[in-house]
A and B are shown apart, each in its own frame.
Chain A
């Protein structure tokens, strides 16, 4: 390849990478908005926005996927470039799923608005879990921007915390439901919200794993957090 095509190729790769990150930014903003709905800081107008942006996120996923297949067809990338492109398709897939989960959280959150104060108190824990997932997603995207495997490994480790938070919320809600069957409807809504948040944490973890894969060239999807840390520490 001549220098010219190299340059163009680099520009295309950079455009794809930036595309992924701006899609990530959209998802992050969306998540912040959903948390505000959950935290009762925002009203129903925010909900309409959540729906509209969700469409935009889906559109971005398709655009980036198309860019990726074009680069593969036109340039036949190899080694790290190929890994990067394969990873990008995975990451945008995860981001799109996060978008779906956020939409669910926002809609369910408005449904629990009129719930009894008892279950609303638990929303406090849910908001905390959501904020945790939010910071994981942010760290994962930062790790992708910087190709920083150490940060990626940290995100992978933190997923357990979101899982634990989900279990804790579930246990609490079960005891409420047993005490007072009238809380069951709203408690179930909160279970769905918490589950979606837990899924967002999982997707953030997937993104972090993809970062490790693109940098190190190893598949860490089914490795434990300790194994990944050990892998990452090796230079």
Chain B
């Protein structure tokens, strides 16, 4: 017999025994007088505890189990133990769920849980952002109603989830998503979405690059092979022959330049090619560049130097001198090529307040419209194809500049006014620039020269 039953029996047995004793001693009347309050007491005791139990079941779930007396104390304490176990179990469960949810939330990919009818059950923050969902009101909404790309709807409808589907985001123009569905559990599906915009961009760039290189090589090759054919088939006058040979040589040089630039770019890009840094003085480099510019211009432009006061002229830079010289040289040759005869090209060097160095090339050339500026450093990006090729550009110059600057943590800053000229500036970080004490610098200062 259970302890509760035995404990519960104590009071009724006691009342019965007392009633029997009193009945035998004083008669039935007295016995009744004992029995009635005794029985009433027992009933009230049970009813009261029953009331406590009923009140507890209705109260909020974290209310403590009531404490009773006698048999009820045993029952209540059993109940208390059970509640405690259940609470601990639930807490564990909630904790586990929370851990899984926060793990899913922390994943770098978007996750959506779908039911059998492709309605949204849950989504992590990434998925909400990528696919424009709002979990607060979209639970139960068919996902296809909000992610409406035809490719995605077809993917959902066919139910063939072996491969992922790639869709262009409607929410974020230019973004590309890769979406994969994985069925799990009973008819449920897990959708994983990933932003592959950058990956796509790289693939596209590679494709474009190869197409561009082929095109750039093909043009001079066509010219060369055309002339070769003519030279073979026709008996030409010596003067014409020389002219054709000269044109062929020009085209061959173009190809040579392009291949050289491509090799430079790939050398700059390759990881193994570590930066060989030296500390070099800026002023000699500026003079070299200015001499180079004068040679390139052939006296058609005014070349001037603009070097900041005192310390600027004596400043030294830490970096790969060859690379920086070729990058600066590229900017200078661009300036000359895009500035009509009679224009002015100013090479500048200034050390800023914050210690950063600014190398600049300002021209009075044709200038560049705003919309082209962000794309200038793209390989083979040309604003005006005919012009660029006519001036002997490979389309890779600024791409090389960008790579060199990247290796030096420097930035390219382009300001331009169409028709009035452009200024290309290279901003070298303060860590790479040393300003020599003013005393030494004065000696190194060179007055602006002009051709």
Contact = CB atoms under 8 A, between A and B. Distances in A.
Pair from one complex: yes
Interface of A: 14, 17-18, 21-22, 24-26, 28-29, 32, 35, 121, 124, 131, 134, 138, 141-142, 145-146, 148
Contacts of B322: none
Interface SS majority for chain B: mixed
A35 B168 CA distance: 13
B146 A145 contact: yes
Contact of B150 (A29, A131, A138, A141): A29
Interface string B137-148: 110011011111
B144 A21 contact: yes
B137 A146 contact: yes
B153 A22 contact: yes
B51 interface: no
Contacts of A141: 148
A25 B137 contact: no
Contacts of A142: 132, 146
B171 A138 contact: yes
Contact of B145 (A28, A35, A145): A145
Contacts of A14: 142
B57 interface: no
A32 B148 contact: no
Interface in B161-204: 168, 170-171, 173
A148 B145 CA distance: 13
Given A25-B148, A142-B132, A146-B137, 5 more contacts: A18-B145, A25-B144, A29-B168, A32-B170, A138-B171
20 contacts: A14-B142, A17-B145, A18-B144, A18-B145, A22-B144, A22-B153, A24-B148, A25-B148, A25-B150, A26-B148, A28-B148, A29-B150, A32-B168, A32-B170, A131-B173, A141-B148, A142-B132, A145-B141, A145-B145, A146-B138
Contacts of B150: 22, 25-26, 29
Nearest to A32: B168
A146 B145 CA distance: 9
Of the listed residues B147, B148, B170, B371, the one surrounded by the most CB atoms of chain A closer than 10 A to its CB is: B148
B371 A25 contact: no
B170 A138 contact: yes
Contacts of B144: 18, 21-22, 25
A4 B142 CA distance: 21
A124 B148 contact: no
Contacts of B369: 121
A40 to B, nearest CB: 11
Nearest to B148: A25
Of the listed residues B145, B146, B152, B371, the one surrounded by the most CB atoms of chain A closer than 10 A to its CB is: B145
Closest 5 interchain pairs by CB?
Answer: A25-B148, A145-B145, A21-B145, A22-B153, A26-B150
B149 interface: yes
Given A18-B142, A146-B137, A25 B173 contact: no
Of the listed residues A18, A22, A121, A148, the one surrounded by the most CB atoms of chain B closer than 10 A to its CB is: A22
B169 to A, nearest CB: 9
Nearest to A11: B117
A134 B132 CA distance: 15
B266 to A, nearest CB: 27
A14 B144 CA distance: 12
A21 B148 contact: yes
Interface in B117-153: 132, 137-138, 141-142, 144-150, 152-153
B272 to A, nearest CB: 35
A142 B134 CA distance: 11
Of the listed residues B138, B147, B150, the one surrounded by the most CB atoms of chain A closer than 10 A to its CB is: B150
B137 A22 contact: no
Interface in B371-422: 371
B168 A25 contact: no
A25 B152 CA distance: 10
A29 B147 CA distance: 11
Contact of A29 (B137, B138, B146, B149): B149
Nearest to B369: A121
Contacts of A145: 141, 145-146
Nearest to A145: B145
A35 B371 CA distance: 17
A44 B433 CA distance: 51
A131 to B, nearest CB: 7
A124 B371 contact: yes
B170 A28 contact: yes
Contacts of A29: 149-150, 168, 170
A146 B141 CA distance: 8
Contacts of B147: 25
A145 B146 CA distance: 7
Contacts of B171: 138
Contacts of A148: 137
A145 B147 CA distance: 10
B28 to A, nearest CB: 66
Contacts of A134: 173
A17 B119 CA distance: 14
Contacts of B137: 146, 148
A33 to B, nearest CB: 9
A17 B173 CA distance: 25
B447 to A, nearest CB: 42
Contacts of B173: 32, 35, 131, 134
